[in-house]
Amino acid sequence: MLKSLGFLHLAIRALRGQRRVAGFYLLASLGDSLAAALVMWLVKRYLDTVSTSGGSVTLWGAAGAACGLILGAWMFRALCACFRRIWSQKLQNAVLVSQMMLLTRHLLRQSVAFFDRQSRSEILSAVRLDVHTVYVAVECLCTLFSNLVTVVALAATAFWLSPRLFGWVIIILPVLTLPILLSGNRMLRASENQRTAGFQMMDHLMDLFAGLRLVKLFRSETQEVNRFREIAERYFEAQLRFTRHQALAHVSLEAIAGIGLVAVILLGGMEVQSGKLTWPGLLTFLITLMGIFEPARWVTSAYSTIQQNIPGSERLGELLALRPEIEDGPNARALLGQPEIIRLENVGFAYSADAPVIKDVCLEIRAGEVIGVVGPSGAGKSTLLSLLSRFYDPTEGAVYFDGVNLRDYKLATVYDHVSAVLQIPFVFNTTLRENIRYGRPDATDAEVEQAARDANLYDEIQQMPQGYDTVLGAGGQDLSVGQRQRLNIARALLKNAPILLLDEATSALDSISEARVQAALDRLMEGRTVIAVAHRLSTLRGAHRLVVMKQGRVEAIGTHAELLKSSDTYRLLCEHQAMSTEDAKPVPEAAAQPAALA
């Protein structure tokens, strides 16, 4: 019961910003309920008139006038019910949109770590389904309000007709709720199981479609279909259990309602025989009672709907209560201009306490330097970039920009000073122009086109049927990997941030595409502080210094020639890639600008 009240409180909170629409809905509901009571009162007057009339009943007499009033009240009720439904839908839609915006904004404030831990299906379900529980909560609240008001109005009419019979109704009405209340916990458990199985089913489908090529190559279609059938059967079995509990509760409810109605008919007949109630009064009372039972059924039905949606509402509450792991401190300052010195001081990081990824990293990077980061897989190279961009905070030590802890800068200004080109380029499902402009939303068309030229993408865009207005499919499927990467470079060029992070930016490309992307990267790197992670050592020939990482630690720092003498790990990497000393020319120490990565 407490969870049900919490569910309704969710709706009340969501309605705070919708007072105008809620006010119109309340007025329409009150009009509907009062008109229902008025109809019963007019019916009673009509029947009294007919039963006491000595003459014939005519259309133009008192009885006819009463019928006219009944019709008028009935039509007024129908009009109020119409407006109640319209305003109820408006209210629910307004709440749904506002809650979706609230949750999306809240999720986007969360740190990268949150999205790394969560399954994609859970996040999508939160935005699409969990938010819908607020819609359902508002719908249930509206249902409860309108039907409870109707019950109260008709109950007052029934009491006016016969206080003695109404006493029996007071006994019957609470009993009607018992079947639903008793089955509430079982419905809640079934709903939670259904929700869990639903997540598993969506996760399986997303993995299945993402790995479709492997499924076909290994001819595992039958195996995957059987796995999906098992998950789907668990989902629909949980759904069936909920429906079974709900159906049994409603059967019990109808049985109790039927027994109560028969009891009122018998008692009412005795009242008429004893002269304590007229037969028009009994007939009107029975019509009123039938009018009470219907909204009472809706009230109890709303309870089962609440039980079904409680798990989603609890998850929504948990998400909205989350605080970002990475956020501004109370005295955070703005980062102004390019940092002259970036220093990592005894930096350590672990995703979990028992598995450190980076340990005791010390490194100093000067403005305008090109720093290459190399090492075997799992050495912590990409994690180092995540710490420099403050996607994560170190669990030990600190990163300093010009002597100030990176935590002490406003997060938004840090992001303003950092651009990244990653191994897997990301493309939004919108036009090519808007994809490039994402780097700077206020950029002019001329600036967008210049960025495309600098990224070696201009000529290919000109050959597209709609040029810059070409709508790219989901994930940029209409472009080659090289084109997608150059689009990301154009985006970074347009942003023009002083710090550039490159994470295997050319590793997924063939030699021709790599050459075109590398030429675009050369332009992007000019005048910037660059930290580049690469497995292909040949792409780091122009780096001022190379940082060799192994098992989360910095093993050595130096030029190519220096590392061949001092680092066994670097020497082994070079041997594996058949790279001789002559393949990498060290940058003269007096170079004013970093040489381009070849």
pLDDT at 519: 83
Check pLDDT > 50 for residue 547: yes
Half-sphere exposure of 145 (CA within 13 A, CB side): 21
Burial class (CB in 10 A: 0-12, 13-18, 19+), 447: middle
Give dist(CA 161, CA 42) in Å, integer: 12
The answer to pTM > 0.95 is no
- 433: number of Cβ within 10 Å: 19
Task: Round the average pLDDT of the chain to a whole number and report it.
Answer: 80
Q: What is the pLDDT of residues 300-338, one digit of tens each?
A: 677 767 776 777 777 778 888 888 888 898 899 999 988
What sign does the CA torsion over 567, 571, 577, 581 have? positive
DSSP H or E segment with residue 345: strand 341-352
592 falls in which pLDDT band (50, 70, 90)?
very low
341 falls in which pLDDT band (50, 70, 90)?
very high
Tell me the two tokens of residue 213.
């090529």
- By the 8 A CB rule, do 215 and 208 touch? yes
Give dist(CA 321, CA 131) in Å, integer: 14
Q: What is the pLDDT of residues 52-76, one digit of tens each?
A: 655 555 555 566 677 778 888 888 8
- By the 8 A CB rule, do 42 and 66 touch? yes
Q: Where are the beta strands (DSSP E) in 481-581?
A: 499-503, 529-533, 545-550, 553-558
Q: What is the pLDDT of residues 383-400, one digit of tens each?
A: 999 999 999 999 999 999
Check pLDDT > 90 for residue 237: no
Phi/psi for 368 (5° steps) reads 85, -5
Tell me the two tokens of residue 161.
């007709």
Q: What is the pLDDT of residues 2-29, one digit of tens each?
A: 566 666 666 677 777 777 888 888 888 8
- By the 8 A CB rule, do 88 and 142 touch? yes
The SS3 assignment for 363 reads strand
- By the 8 A CB rule, do 358 and 384 touch? yes
DSSP H or E segment with residue 374: strand 370-374
Check pLDDT > 50 for residue 579: no
Residue that wins the pLDDT comparison between 315 and 344: 344
Phi/psi for 19 (5° steps) reads -65, -40
Check pLDDT > 50 for residue 594: no
Which positions ≥6 away from 410 have C-beta within 8 Å?
Answer: 328, 332, 333, 334, 335
Which amino acid is present at 146? S
Give dist(CA 131, CA 315) in Å, integer: 10
Can you give the C-alpha Rg of the chain in angstroms?
36
